[in-house]
Amino acid sequence: MNDSHNLSQRLSRVNLNLLVAFHALYQERHLTRAANRISLSQPAMSHALKKLRSQFDDELFIKTSEGMQPTPLANRLFQRIETGLLQLDEAIVSSHSFIPEKEVREFRIGITDFMINELVPYLVRAVNEQAPGISFNILYTKISSPEMAYKLLQEQELDLAITQFEYLPQHTGCYELLYEDQLVCVADEGVYGDRESLSAEEFLAPPHVALSHREDEPILVNRKLISLGMKRKVVVKTPYIATLPAILSGTNMITVITEYGARLICPESPLKAYQMPIDFDPLYVCQIWEGRKADDPGIHWLRTVVRNCLQERGLN
């Protein structure tokens, strides 16, 4: 029953578009949003759901105050359907070579705040020159670990995530180390003077602004200080690097940021970067992708463009 002849017979009775509708409904949990996602009208999506329910003899999605929640059967079906659709998409995409100047395609890139300033303007200009039909959907994401990156790649259907990690991903072949970055402390030069570094006392005594996109995990700097029997006073926690000059200028407050981040915010402000009085391991700036898309020639091309942009700017 598993030979290709019987497979063809069974699949001939299945409308592939219904599986696409199922996938959209599962991810959006909302009929109208799912319809918009795959360019269907709401009545057409309702009709697709009716056919899906008949096909699988199950409600699949139940309307609640929190959206359309999947049934146990829908949960079991989703991973297999998504895997099948991704493999089909890869087969179609890989059936032709990727010619940048002729392609019309949107790439979804997940990126953290400091990387938006660091990369996006240069990436967009480079791609616009090479491939005018390529566009980007840049999504700000809170990524604090490789595991979270892989999860978001699947949940948000990202083609690529670009962020920094405290440790390198364990999934070999699904990431590329772009460069390493060291931590420095940044403060108002008018308060701390024109020198290279701060003492441990000068670093710990003032209030701190913590640059972090973590919500429920200890901040890297805090963990290190605690391990050394030290503590700092964090009065503001923000994921947005662009806010730092306005917060820090004219105060004795200090923040810890990467060297490249400091080069972004210090030149046009009274802020200065000082060497840390405590040694920290480097942070790893990586681009990371889902293994199931590793053979996509478009994503392979995009990764090369990202790498080249950073190389031209002396960061790789």
Backbone phi and psi for residue 21, each to the nearest 5 degrees, phi listed first:
-65, -40
pTM of the model: 0.63
Q: For domain 4-93, give its CATH number from 3.30.70.100, 3.90.79.10, 1.10.10.10, 2.20.28.270.
A: 1.10.10.10
Instruction: Report the distance separating Cα 23 and Cα 4, nearest Å.
Output: 25
pLDDT at 40: 84
Instruction: Report the distance separating Cα 288 and Cα 307, nearest Å.
Output: 12
Residues 6+ apart with CB under 8 A from 133: 101, 102, 103, 104, 105
pLDDT at 107: 93
pLDDT at 133: 93
pLDDT at 249: 96
- DSSP secondary structure, 46-98, as one string: HHHHHHHHHHHTS--EEEETTEEEEPHHHHHHHHHHHHHHHHHHHHHHTTS--
Domain definitions of the chain by residue range? 4-93, 105-180+284-312, 183-281
Q: For domain 183-281, give its CATH number from 3.40.720.10, 3.40.50.410, 3.30.70.420, 3.40.190.10.
A: 3.40.190.10
- Over its length of 316 residues, how does the chain's per-residue pLDDT go in tens digits? 445 556 656 666 667 889 999 999 998 999 999 988 888 888 889 999 999 999 899 999 999 988 899 999 999 999 888 888 877 776 665 555 788 888 899 999 988 877 777 788 889 999 998 899 999 999 887 777 777 787 788 777 889 998 888 888 776 568 888 888 899 999 999 999 999 999 999 999 999 998 876 554 446 788 888 889 999 999 988 888 888 999 999 999 999 998 888 988 898 899 999 999 988 888 888 899 887 777 788 898 999 999 988 888 766 5
Q: Determine which helix (DSSP H) or strand (DSSP E) holds 185, and give its type and residue range.
A: strand 183-188
- Report the amino acid identity of residue 24: A
- Report the amino acid identity of residue 223: R
Q: What is the pLDDT of residues 176-232, one digit of tens each?
A: 888 888 999 999 999 999 999 999 999 999 999 988 765 544 467 888 888 899 999
Instruction: Report the distance separating Cα 141 and Cα 256, nearest Å.
Output: 20
Sign of CA dihedral 95, 97, 102, 105: positive
User: Residue for token digits 């895997």?
Assistant: 83
Q: Give the count of beta carbons closer than 10 Å to the beta carbon of residue 20.
A: 17
DSSP-derived letter for residue 2 is -
| 290 CB burial (10 A radius; 0-12, 13-18, 19+) | buried
Q: Is 161 helix (H, G, I), strand (E, B) or coil?
A: strand
| Tokens found for residue 99 | 């010619």
Instruction: Report the distance separating Cα 165 and Cα 106, nearest Å.
Output: 26
pLDDT at 95: 52
Instruction: Report the distance separating Cα 29 and Cα 71, nearest Å.
Output: 12
pLDDT at 1: 42
Q: Is 139 helix (H, G, I), strand (E, B) or coil?
A: strand
Q: Give the count of beta carbons closer than 10 Å to the beta carbon of residue 272.
A: 20
User: What CATH code would you report for 105-180+284-312?
Assistant: 3.40.190.10
Which of 116, 133, 275 lies closest to 192, judged by CA?
Answer: 275
The answer to whether domain 4-93 and domain 105-180+284-312 are alike in fold is no
pLDDT at 216: 46
